[in-house]
């Protein structure tokens, strides 16, 4: 059982001992700290925070604890109920709120939940802000409101529709072309809020939607991370339904992957590549992704005359570099699309609208579209952490092994660039693991490179 406090928020498994898992006491503790931080940021008479959740089994319990903790601090809460991460991000500035909390553990299995924390722009907090909240939580110097100053709760169920309205108003979303194309799409909502939001968006775009696992029960029918090995039911349904393609999102709808008309993966990494290709063709400019993402985005960006840059892993890091680089689109290779014309947050709903616009205008099948992009293959593996593993020492030793021979970047873990491939080794922000990501010109080479570095990590760790 685990509790992780990081730049990605407060994330843990439900149940167990206080301080070692995400228990009710821990939820109240960190919600209190966030509320105090909000009140420290702005000296005013009234404070407002937007709260929404995915459909996890523990979601309603954690939501009630968090909302009523904020009320106890004298903070007014706009309760979106079942929602998506990007919808909460959009709602914060729409509500002129002081911040937002999303209750979701993203792609983690059902026993996990988390508090993802937003600023008054609806963007994730940076490392310095997160550290302040953790310090407040540990100091326990928290003073609650008196009975006449308690906050109030306002329920608003309209924000998914409002979010869709905003997407349809985007200049590059070609609604007419999408409607004319008469697409048929199968949607795997992993029994969370994507099963609400994605079909609503498709219906508004005139797309025929076949629903698969779209009941928001929180009982995930498969591992909720949208990877090939978890999506056999979706692949089968696309072929059976003779659909144009399939869509899968993670439980909080900030990651997006596609299945082509043959039932094959389009490639999670290529979600951003395709959306960037479309955006850059209309509005040339720069792009950003994290350093664990495919080189194909660099290639597409340079084809359109732009500049590509890579950030440390973590949405807040991508967003910071996008702003610095004036990027017109960016995101993460895990299927996360960040389109500043909409908002600075990963948004699968925006990604769906951009992808449909691209497909409708090009009049290609999804497999034919994929064939137009540079062909890279990735391996994504992991090593579970144990108490005796000194991750920092391991990564330092790995960097030292290669710094004389190869291009080594230690901005975020260790990334080693070879002529035709790369490997990125880093400690996860969201799970107790070391991630080993590799990319090469074919799948076998990517897998071999990953296995080689797993063996080298184990050899190095045994010698420390």
CATH code of the domain covering residue 128? 3.40.120.10
What pLDDT, on a 0 to 100 scale, did the predictor assign at position 6? 73
Average pLDDT over residues 240-265: 97
Neighbours of 302 (CB within 10 A): 12
β-bridge mates for residue 82, sequence order: 53
What domain range includes position 206? 163-370
Give the chain's domain count.
Answer: 3
Together in a domain, 216 and 265: yes
Mean pLDDT on 346-370: 98
Strand partners, 426: 435
Strand, coil or helix: what is 434?
strand
Degrees to nearest 5, angle at CA 297 with 348 and 294: 85
- Residues 179-202: what's their mean pLDDT? 98
- Taking 80 as the threshold, does the pLDDT of residue 8 lie above it? no
Handedness of CA 20, 25, 31, 35 (dihedral sign): negative
Residue 429 has pLDDT above 90, yes or no: no
Instruction: Tell which residue, 300, 354, 288, 295, has the closest CA to residue 326.
Output: 288
| Last residue in a domain, options 324, 351, 370 | 370
* 93 and 175 co-located in one domain: no
> Is the predicted pLDDT of residue 143 greater than 90, yes or no?
yes
* Inter-residue contact 380 to 435 (CB < 8 Å): yes
Q: Please report the beta strands in 334-420, taking only residues with DSSP state E, as ranges in sequence order.
A: 336-338, 377-384, 407-409, 414-417
Which of 8, 58, 83, 106 is the catalytic position? 106
**8 Å CB contact between 14 and 21:** yes
- Co-location of 43 and 129 in the same domain: yes
Same domain, 102 and 228: no
Same domain, 104 and 213: no
Per-residue pLDDT reduced to its tens digit, 95-128: 999 999 999 999 999 999 999 999 999 999 998 9
Same domain, 72 and 221: no
Q: Assign residue 394 the CATH number of its domain.
A: 3.30.310.50
pLDDT confidence band for 311 (50 / 70 / 90): very high
User: What average pLDDT does range 324-340 have in this prediction?
Assistant: 96
Instruction: Identify the three-state secondary structure at position 432.
Output: coil
Whether 462 is catalytic: no
Same domain, 295 and 393: no
Task: Give yes or no: residues 209 and 320 share one domain.
Answer: yes
314 in the same domain as 353: yes
Which of 107, 131, 157 is where one domain is finished? 157
Tally the C-alpha atoms within 13 A of residue 95's C-alpha that lie toward its C-beta: 30
Given 349, 370, 391, which residue is the final one in a domain? 370
d(CA 51, CA 310): 31
Same structural domain for residues 365 and 217? Answer: yes
Q: What is the residue whose two structure tokens read 């906050």?
A: 151
Same domain, 325 and 406: no
Q: Do 153 and 168 belong together in one domain?
A: no
Q: Which one-letter DSSP state was computed for residue 145?
A: P
**Cα separations in angstroms, 56 against 105, 111, 375:** 9, 9, 36
| Residue 175: pLDDT over 60 | yes
Looking at 2-16, 323-337, 348-362, 364-378, which range is the least confident one? 2-16
365 pLDDT higher than 70? yes
Rounded to whole angstroms, the Cα distance separating 271 from 228 reads 14
């Amino acid at each position: 059982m685990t509790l992780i406090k990081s730049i990605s928020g407060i994330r843990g498994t439900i149940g167990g001992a206080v301080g070692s898992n995400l228990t009710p006491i821990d939820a109240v503790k960190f919600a209190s700290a966030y509320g105090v931080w909000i009140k420290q940021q702005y000296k005013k008479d009234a404070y407002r925070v937007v709260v929404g959740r995915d459909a996890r089994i523990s979601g309603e319990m954690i939501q009630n604890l968090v909302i009523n903790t904020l009320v106890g601090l004298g903070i007014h809460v706009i309760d979106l109920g079942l929602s998506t991460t990007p919808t909460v991000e959009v709602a914060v500035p729409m509500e002129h709120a002081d911040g937002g909390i999303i209750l979701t553990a993203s792609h983690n299995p059902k026993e996990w939940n988390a508090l993802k924390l937003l600023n008054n722009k609806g963007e994730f907090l940076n490392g310095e802000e997160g550290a302040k909240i953790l310090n407040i939580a540990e100091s326990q110097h928290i003073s609650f409101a008196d009975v006449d100053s308690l906050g109030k709760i306002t329920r608003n169920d309209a924000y998914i529709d409002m979010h869709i309205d905003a997407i349809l108003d985007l200049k590059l979303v070609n609604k007419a072309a999408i409607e004319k194309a008469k697409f048929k799409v199968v949607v795997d909502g992993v029994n969370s809020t994507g099963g609400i939001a994605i079909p609503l968006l498709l219906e508004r775009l005139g797309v025929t939607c076949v629903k698969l696992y779209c009941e928001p029960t929180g009982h995930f029918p498969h591992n909720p991370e949208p990877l090939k090995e978890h999506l056999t039911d979706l692949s089968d349904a696309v072929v059976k339904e003779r659909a144009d393609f399939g869509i899968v999102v993670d439980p909080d709808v900030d990651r997006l992957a596609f299945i082509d008309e043959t039932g094959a993966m389009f490639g999670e990494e290529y979600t951003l590549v395709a959306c960037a290709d479309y955006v850059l063709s209309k509005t040339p400019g720069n792009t950003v992704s994290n350093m664990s993402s495919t080189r194909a985005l660099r290639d597409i960006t340079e084809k359109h005359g732009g500049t590509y840059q890579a950030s440390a892993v973590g949405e807040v890091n991508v967003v910071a570099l996008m702003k610095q680089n004036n990027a017109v689109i960016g995101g993460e290779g895990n299927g996360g699309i960040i389109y500043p014309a909409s908002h600075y947050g990963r948004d699968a709903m925006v990604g769906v609208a951009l992808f449909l616009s691209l497909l409708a205008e090009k009049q290609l099948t999804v497999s034919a579209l994929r064939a137009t992009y540079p062909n890279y293959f990735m391996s994504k593996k992991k090593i579970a952490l144990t108490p005796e593993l000194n991750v920092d020492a391991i990564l330092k030793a790995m960097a030292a092994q290669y710094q004389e021979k190869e291009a080594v970047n230690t901005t975020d873990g260790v990334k080693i660039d070879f002529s035709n491939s790369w490997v990125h080794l880093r400690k996860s922000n969201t799970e107790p693991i070391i991630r080993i990501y590799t990319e090469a010109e074919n799948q076998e080479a990517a897998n071999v490179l990953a296995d080689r570095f797993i063996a080298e990590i184990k050899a190095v760790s045994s010698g420390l």
